[in-house]
Structure 1
Amino acid sequence: MSSDADTTIPSGALVLTFTQDASLTEVMRQRALSLQRTSQKRQEGERLLLPYEAVYRLDFPVQALAFTRWRVSLEGHGRVTVTGTSQLWTPDLTHLMSRQLLDPMGMFWRSPGDPPRSPLKCLEADMQEFGERIAELAKVRRVMYFLVAFKEGAEQGKAEFAVEFVPEQ
C-alpha cells in the first residue's frame, strides 16, 4: 500500500501528489508566533501549527474518484503523520479548530534499525479508510488541506506523498 519502491502506475489510474502550501503554512506559523509574542492564549479548540508540521494540499481535477492506494516515499528513517481537515479552509477568516481534523490519520514510518530502503510501515486498515474518506470528500471539493508532521528523524524535503485513485464510471 505504501512502498517506496513501487512506482508503476496502472492504466487509467490518477496519482494526485500532495504539494506544500507554503503561504498557508506561513500564515499558521505567524498566528502561533503572534500569540506567543503577545502572551495570548489560543481560542478554545483552536489547533496551532507545531514547528515540525507543514500544510499540504491535494487538488482534485476530477470529482468522482475511487481510492486505490497510497504512494509515500521517505529517505532514511522517521515518522510522517498526515491529518486531513474537514473544511474548505479560509485561514484569513477562520482558524483551524481541532474538531475539523479527520480520523483516521495517516501514519507512515521506518524505524532507525530498518535498512534505509526497506518498505515503509503503516496501519493498513487506517490508511484504507483514510484514502476512502479522501475520495468521498473529493466528490464535493476541488481541493483538500492536510497537516503533515515530520517526526523521529523524518525531514520535509526527504518525503513525498501521493494518493492513487481510479475515476469512477
Structure 2
Amino acid sequence: MDQAEAPSSTMVLEFKEDTALTEKMRLRVSSLQKSGQKRQDGERLLLPHEAVYRLDFHNQKLIFSRWNVSLGGHGRVTITGISQHWTPDLTHLMTRQLLEPIGTFWRNTGDPDESRLKCLEADMQEFGERIAELAKVRKVMYFLFAFKDGAEAAKLRCSVAFRSENDC
C-alpha cells in the first residue's frame, strides 16, 4: 500500500487536512468544557488525537483502484468517512453520520521503518469502493483521521487512486 507509480489514466487524490474545520470542532469541545455543558445526544466530538481531512472530487465518475499510504515510524492511523456535508455555521458531527467500514493502517513498534504498512485488505477495498460511490453525488467528502500508538500527521502521506468510468 505504499506509494506507487500511477498510470496516466489513474487519478490520485490526496487527503488534505481541513485545518479550519478541525479548529472549529476543537473550539466546540473547548466551549462545552468551559461552559460545563454536555454534548448533544448522538453528537460525536473531536478527540485530541483526531483531525478532519477532505477529498475534493473534480471528476465524479470514478472506479476505486488502490490506496497509497506511507507512514514514517510506527503507529496506527484510522480513517473514518463522514456522510455529512458541512455548512459554514458548523453543523455538529453526529455518530450516525460516520461510515463503515473504517480504514486502518499500522506498523508495529518492532517493525522496521521500511516494512510495508499492515491493513485489513478487504475493508480497505470496500472503503475505497464506497468513496467512489459517494463521489458520484459529491464534490467533496470529509474524513476523521485518528493518530494512535505513535503515529503523527506530519509523518503520514495518504492518497487514494481511481480510474475514470469514462476510460472503461
- Fold similarity call, TM over 0.5: yes
Q: How many residues align?
A: 166
User: 1:10 is matched with which residue?
Assistant: 7
- Could you list the per-position Cα deviations for residues 34-92 of structure 1 after superposition, in whole angstroms to 9, with x for gaps in the alignment? 00111110000000000000000000010000000000110000000000001112262
User: 1:61 is matched with which residue?
Assistant: 58
- Could you list the per-position Cα deviations for residues 84-117 of structure 1 after superposition, in whole angstroms to 9, with x for gaps in the alignment? 0011122624200000000000000000010111
User: 1:20 is matched with which residue?
Assistant: 17
User: 2:164 is matched with which residue?
Assistant: 167
User: What are the within-5 Å matches in structure 2 for residues 15-94 of structure 1?
Assistant: 15-90=12-87, 92-94=89-91
User: 2:110 is matched with which residue?
Assistant: 113
State whether residues 82 and 146 of structure 1, in contact with CA within 8 Å, keep that contact through their aligned partners in structure 2.
yes
TM-score (norm. length: structure 2): 0.96
Cα RMSD over matched residues? 0.9
User: 2:139 is matched with which residue?
Assistant: 142
Unaligned runs of 5+ in 2: none
- Could you list the per-position Cα deviations for residues 11-38 of structure 1 after superposition, in whole angstroms to 9, with x for gaps in the alignment? 3000000000000000000000100111
1: distance between equivalents of 2:70 and 2:34?
37
Which runs of at least 4 in structure 1 moved beyond 3 Å after TM superposition? none
State whether residues 85 and 145 of structure 1, in contact with CA within 8 Å, keep that contact through their aligned partners in structure 2.
yes
SS of aligned partner of 1:9:
coil
**Identity %, equivalent residues:** 67
SS of aligned partner of 2:43:
coil
1: distance between equivalents of 2:162 and 2:51?
24
User: 1:103 is matched with which residue?
Assistant: 100
SS of aligned partner of 1:82:
strand
Unaligned runs of 5+ in 1: none
TM-score (norm. length: structure 1): 0.96
